[in-house]
Amino acid sequence: MPELPEVEVVRQSLESLVLGRKVESVSVRCASLRYPVPENLRVALVGQTLGKIERRGKYLLFGFNDVLLSWHLGMTGRFHVLSVREAVARHEHVRIDLDEGLSLRYCDARRFGYAGLLDVEGWQSHPWFRNLGMEPLWDGFDGNHLYEQCRHHRSTIKSLLLSGRVVVGVGNIYASEALYHAGIHPARRANRISRRRADDLAISIKKVLREAIMAGGSSVSDFVRVDGRPGYFVRKLAVYGRQGRTCARCGKRIQRKLIAGRASFYCPGCQH
DNA sequence: CTGAAGACCTGCCTGC
DNA sequence: TGCAGGCAGGTCTTCA
């Protein structure tokens, strides 16, 4: 489900709904997510106040007094903020009840999501975060950075973007979209991208991600926001999921092809 | 280093 | 209506 824009949309919603709330109880209905839910989750969180909610790549970071709770949504993970009286939701695995009668529920049909308790200091050296690339919306991410990184990789640019080693948060949808807007073929070798085209790609990545956040994310099949509404960026997708349709720029048919094992969408007329 | 394939799971869609 | 097969936004491991 979620790439950077969807996770950011969830982060912003949670921030407006549960920031500053205190944990009253925690219950785990199903601990077998991708990795087991930490056994000491309840002990670690009860009584703690949620001081900040941040994001690194596709990870949500819940900052409590003494501990950092990191959460990855996998493919189908969702957070809902309900009342404590509200019944158990479908595929609800973890429930964190807060003061003022609020209840944070984690639901995940495929259970590819995972959570971890990390040190407030030093969490960045955890294996989940150690090798992550730069945040695409930071100022430091630009054509120069992208070019310098791409130079050292012979893999396809699409798989390099997905790897998260150079830039984080770009998943299968937005990699296809950004490459289309930059006019770069997804199977082009990363080290064969010129400095000028790296500029275009960095700009496209920022633009696509920002616009997707503004639209509330992309609901390709089942992404919904914290309040249950869908995201509307699907309407703006130029190539993802549009194989056989015509390219808005040149009229050629959009292709779907597996690149490094992932469905990739591109316009053979516009992307080289 | 690179990529392919398989693993983790469930749901949904297609075609027979 | 039913059922098998393919597909899905992410990551990690193993193998060539």
Whether A257 is catalytic is no
Whether A186 is catalytic is no
Place of tokens 């869908």: A230
Contacts of A266 (CB under 8 A, 6+ apart): A176, A179, A180, A185, A186, A239, A254, A255, A257
Whether A3 is catalytic is yes
Strand C nucleotides where any atom sits below 7 Å of a protein CB: 7-12
Find the Å distance, CA of residue A241 to C1' of nucleotide B13.
14
Write the pLDDT tens digit of every residue in A125-172.
Answer: 999 999 999 999 999 999 999 999 999 999 999 999 999 999 999 999
Q: Is the CB of A188 under 7 A from strand B?
A: no
Q: How confident is the model at residue A222 (pLDDT cuts 50, 70, 90)?
A: confident
- Token digits for A77? 């993970």
Q: Is the CB of A54 under 7 A from strand C?
A: no
Q: Is the CB of A244 under 7 A from strand B?
A: no
Write the pLDDT tens digit of every residue in A161-211.
Answer: 999 999 999 999 999 999 999 999 999 999 999 999 999 999 999 999 999
Assess whether pLDDT exceeds 70 at residue A1.
Answer: no
Q: Is the CB of A228 under 7 A from strand C?
A: no
